[in-house]
Amino acid sequence: QVQLQESGPGLVKPSETLSLTCTVSGGSVSSGSYYWSWIRQPPGKGLEWIGYIYYSGSTNYNPSLKSRVTISVDTSKNQFSLKLSSVTAADTAVYYCAREHATAVAGTDYWGQGTLVTVSS
Amino acid sequence: AIRMTQSPSSFSASTGDRVTITCRASQGISSYLAWYQQKPGKAPKLLIYAASTLQSGVPSRFSGSGSGTDFTLTISCLQSEDFATYYCQQYYSYPRTFGGGTKVEIK
């Protein structure tokens, strides 16, 4: 059974960089069958796709966040990470890591439980 | 970006009802559409992918249909555990985009 678990600070100051890590168990980030994604959800609002990374290191980011986002992968630790720079209160959200099928057949089938990140001084 | 529009945004229903949620894409997405269920404080759960394929373990009272720009999610006989918010998502192109959600509440 694949499991994903987000970790990182729950409070980030405005203008600083938000950093989260997703640890994958029961599966491998080195698999060529999946994209490893980040998705966020502001409190009481809908879902926003942030971007993904492939095991090769190739990435795809949401243009609305592209200038501030970096997603990286560490295959030795079976982890992938999100960095979002110059955060503001608008970046306060529950951040989910998730797995999407790279064949574009089956959608996003596994999600982490989510971690709330609050941007506040 | 492809805009996904869900309707209604919320409604009330009773256990045993047949309910239908609609999702419309701003341009054709073939069948690259997924439906998710989200309960308060939980991550979204994949219900249907490829517009009409039931994810393993999802009850058969859930079904999906459509292609191109218009899609529907149907729950044939609403159960108490189905009261939740439902989201559609297109994975035809980047950025991936979600509908605004449909909250199904108890009447």
* A4: enclosing H helix or E strand: strand A3-7
Say which DSSP state A90 is in. Answer: G
CA A22, chain centre distance (Å): 7
Name the residue with tokens 């970006």. B1
Nearest to B4, CA basis, from B24, B29, B18, B21: B24
- Predicted pLDDT at B35: 98
Taking residues B36-62, report their average pLDDT: 97
Contacts of A76 (CB under 8 A, 6+ apart): none
**Model confidence over A95-112: pLDDT tens digits?**
999 999 988 678 899 999
Chain A residues close to B50, C-beta within 8 Å: 105-107
**Model confidence over B56-78: pLDDT tens digits?**
999 999 999 999 999 999 999 99
Name the residue with tokens 């256990």. B15
- Predicted pLDDT at B87: 98
Given a cut of 90, is residue B6 above it in pLDDT?
Answer: yes
CB-nearest partner of A46 from B1, B95, B100: B100
**Model confidence over A41-93: pLDDT tens digits?**
999 999 999 999 999 999 999 999 999 999 999 999 999 999 999 999 999 99
CB-based contact B13:B82 (threshold 8 Å): no
Nearest to A39, CA basis, from A79, A2, A15, A69: A69
Structure token pair of residue A97: 């890591």
CA B94, CA B79: separation in Å to the nearest integer? 35
- Predicted pLDDT at B96: 97
Angle at B84 between CA B81 and CA B89, to 5 degrees: 125
Optimal mutation site among B5, B90, B91, interface A, most CBs of chain A within 10 A: B91
CA B83, CA A90: separation in Å to the nearest integer? 29
Kindly determine whether residue A114 and residue B43, on different chains, have CB atoms separated by under 8 Å: yes
Taking residues A9-21, report their average pLDDT: 98
CB-nearest partner of A107 from B42, B43, B46: B46
Nearest to A82, CA basis, from A100, A104, A62: A62
Nearest to B47, CA basis, from B75, B13, B19: B75
Q: CB atoms < 10 A from the CB of B8, how many?
A: 10
Q: CB atoms < 10 A from the CB of B23, how many?
A: 28
The CA-atom distances, in angstroms, between B75 and each of A83, A94, B1, B19, B37 are 39, 28, 29, 5, 12
